[in-house]
């Protein structure tokens, strides 16, 4: 899970929890029916909006994009440079023994194709298709988070309306108006916190993450194709660095 997300989530929940605890009793903020109506309503609307496949895929996308740690660019360049040297010296078959150490399935798949002696064009076509699948899944995920980020406050408001109407209808003792109003407002609070603390920022993160993951994948493809063409370590290093996005190239330069 990327560090900024962890920091942000912990800090955000810490702050809101502190604000609640400082005000006294936290129990009023824990209301199962209110959670059900906001989160349940949001999920129901998401099922109506998207197809079943898209909804079920979102968990996988989240796990893959947020928990999965992208290989460090510099280490990746070095790794590919080593493969290029081995390929030059001992041929592609000698790379077989390195495959089991690779954790990244995308690189593993590409290297296996290379060892299997597949042609450069076949490798490029297959891996480009995989990158395209990845981007489609990311885009679906981003759209879904944005939709949920607009549905959560809407169901928060619906919950508050239900609470208000019930409270006002049976209003005979004005001294109880406060408690009823407090309960009614809980769903609005849930919806606002959920959308602004998690859903909308996560939609943004998915977009940024998608851009970065695509870039790393394209760098790997570039390196694999150079190795497949039998190019040497220096050429592989140069080709891969040219693919690093401008912002990161600057950081990489002095160190490589």
- Given a contact cutoff of 8 angstroms between Cβ atoms, the answer to whether 194 and 152 are in contact is yes
Give the residue ranges of DSSP H helices in 32-119: 32-35, 41-49, 52-62, 73-90, 96-99, 105-115
Which residues are CB-contacts of 26 (< 8 A; sequence separation ≥ 6)? Answer: 17, 20
Alpha-carbon distance of 70 to 3, in angstroms, equals 12
In angstroms, the CA 184 to CA 157 distance is 9
Q: Which is nearer to its own copies, 76 or 95 (CB)?
A: 76
CB of 36 or CB of 93, closer to its own copies: 36
Q: How far is the CB of 223 from its own copies (least distance, A)?
A: 21
Contact 28, 186 (CB under 8 A): yes
Least separation, in Å, of the C-beta of 214 and its own copies? 14
Among residues 198, 30, 57, the alpha carbon closest in space to that of 139 is found at 57
Q: Which is nearer to its own copies, 117 or 178 (CB)?
A: 178
Residue 79 CB, nearest approach to its own copies (Å)? 22
Our CB check for its own copies shows the closer of 93 and 242 to be 242
Structure token digits, residue 173: 């003792």
* Rounded least distance, CB 248 to its own copies, Å: 9
Nearest to 48 by CA among 177, 163, 147: 147
Question: Would you say 176 or 229 has its CB closer to its own copies?
Answer: 176
Closest distance of CB 253 from its own copies, Å: 10
Kindly tell me which of 116 and 133 has the beta carbon lying closer to its own copies: 133
Residues in the chain: 256
Report, in Å, the least distance between residue 163 CB and its own copies. 7
The whole-angstrom distance between residue 15's C-alpha and the CA centroid of its chain comes to: 23
């Amino acid at each position: 899970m990327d560090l900024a997300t962890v920091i942000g989530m912990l800090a955000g929940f810490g702050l809101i929890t502190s604000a609640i605890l400082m005000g006294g009793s936290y129990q009023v903020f824990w209301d199962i029916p209110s959670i059900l109506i906001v989160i349940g309503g949001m999920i129901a609307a998401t099922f109506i909006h998207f197809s079943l496949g898209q909804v079920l895929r979102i968990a996988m996308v989240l796990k893959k994009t947020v928990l999965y740690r992208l290989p460090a660019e510099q280490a990746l360049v070095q790794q590919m440079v080593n493969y290029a040297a081995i390929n030059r010296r001992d041929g592609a078959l000698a790379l077989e023994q390195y495959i089991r150490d690779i954790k990244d399935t995308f690189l593993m798949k590409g290297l296996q194709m290379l060892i299997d002696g597949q042609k450069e064009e076949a490798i490029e076509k297959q891996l480009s298709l995989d990158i395209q699948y990845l981007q489609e899944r990311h885009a679906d995920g981003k759209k879904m988070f944005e939709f949920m980020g607009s549905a959560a406050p809407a169901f928060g408001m619906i919950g508050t309306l239900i609470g208000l109407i019930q409270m006002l209808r049976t209003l005979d003792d004005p001294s109880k108006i406060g408690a009823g109003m407090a309960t009614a407002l809980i769903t609005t609070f849930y919806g606002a916190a959920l959308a602004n603390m998690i859903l909308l920022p996560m939609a943004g993160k998915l977009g940024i993450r998608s851009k970065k993951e695509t870039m790393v994948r394209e760098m790997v493809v570039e390196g694999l194709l150079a190795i497949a063409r039998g190019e040497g370590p220096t050429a592989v290093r140069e080709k891969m660095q040219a693919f690093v996005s401008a912002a990161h190239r600057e950081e990489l330069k002095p160190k490589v």
